[in-house]
Amino acid sequence: MKELVLISAGGAPISVKIFEPEKSHGKLLLINSATGVKQQLYFGFAKYLTENGFTVITYDYRGISESKPANIKNFEASMRIWGAQDFRTMTEYVAVHYKNHQKYLLGHSVGALILGMNPDATMFDKFVFVATQDAYFRNLNFRIAMLGLFGFGLLLPVLTAILGYFPAQWFGLGESLPKGVALDWRTLVIHRKSTGRLFAKSAGDYSDDLHQKTLVVYAEDDTWVTMKGMESLMNKGYPNLKKQYRKIRVSESPEKEIGHVNFFRSYNRDLWTIVLEAFS
């Protein structure tokens, strides 16, 4: 594994890991992480793909894990900055250093939503989306919708105003998040246009330029993701992508557990052929 730090717009350091295969098949996969998820979650999955000839690149968005400053209070970051600047930094690196590779992208949760903020996303031959959707509360099941309205609608703005960041770990939602990231997450849940609203507020909206084949993977036991939410994203946010859905049933998991993030746990290694076959 190669480790490096790239400098994104505004001078933000971005921690990057590159996994190279012993024998390359000329294919590269860039992984866009979920919100508040450390890139380490994807290391086992990345090593699996290198065994199948892929080069795999993971990274932490600014404000997350190894790309986090010493003091996150009032640190400038947002999902829109992740897409327009940090993801753009990664695609620029890929374009220079892997010019002749076939290029693929896996977007996990928000990692799929930020594609439309970067004009370079057209460089990828195919996409796989995992556990992603328009998270507008009316797209969610009733219990999660009520939690979303209370947590994101009421509690989040109060806590971010007081603390200068959102303590997501208090609620089992990953790492603490920069204030701007948390407020963008609130927009996804509260605003009826959800991802479309973030596109409208970002530096540029390139979502209509994307026409790639896209496999949308979701788990039977992911309580956050619904077909209504996925269809909203794919029909409104990315209307030109050539979508195909793949539902993973709990019975397919050796531990009978997939949820929102556990597709990438080593005990679900048998499920990773889904992605490998999509990029074949």
CATH, residue 264: 3.40.50.1820
Instruction: Give the position of tokens 């701007």.
Output: 180
34 with 112: CB under 8 angstroms?
A: no
Q: Quote the domain boundaries for residue 130.
A: 2-134+205-278
Backbone angles phi, psi at 61, to 5 degrees: -60, 160
- pTM of the entire predicted model: 0.97
Report the C-alpha gap between 274 and 242 in whole angstroms. Answer: 17
Domain contains 58: yes
* Surface-to-core class of residue 118, CB atoms within 10 Å of its CB (0-12 exposed, 13-18 middle, 19+ buried): buried
Domain contains 120: yes
Domain contains 212: yes
**pLDDT tens by residue, 55-68:** 999 999 999 999 99
Whole-number pLDDT of residue 172: 87
**Could you tell me whether strands 213-219 and 177-178 are parallel, antiparallel, or unpaired per DSSP bridges?**
unpaired
Whole-number pLDDT of residue 159: 97
Domain contains 192: no
Which segments in the chain show pLDDT lower than 70?
A: none
Q: Count Cβ atoms below 10 Å from residue 218 Cβ, excluding itself.
A: 23
Report the C-alpha gap between 94 and 16 in whole angstroms. Answer: 12
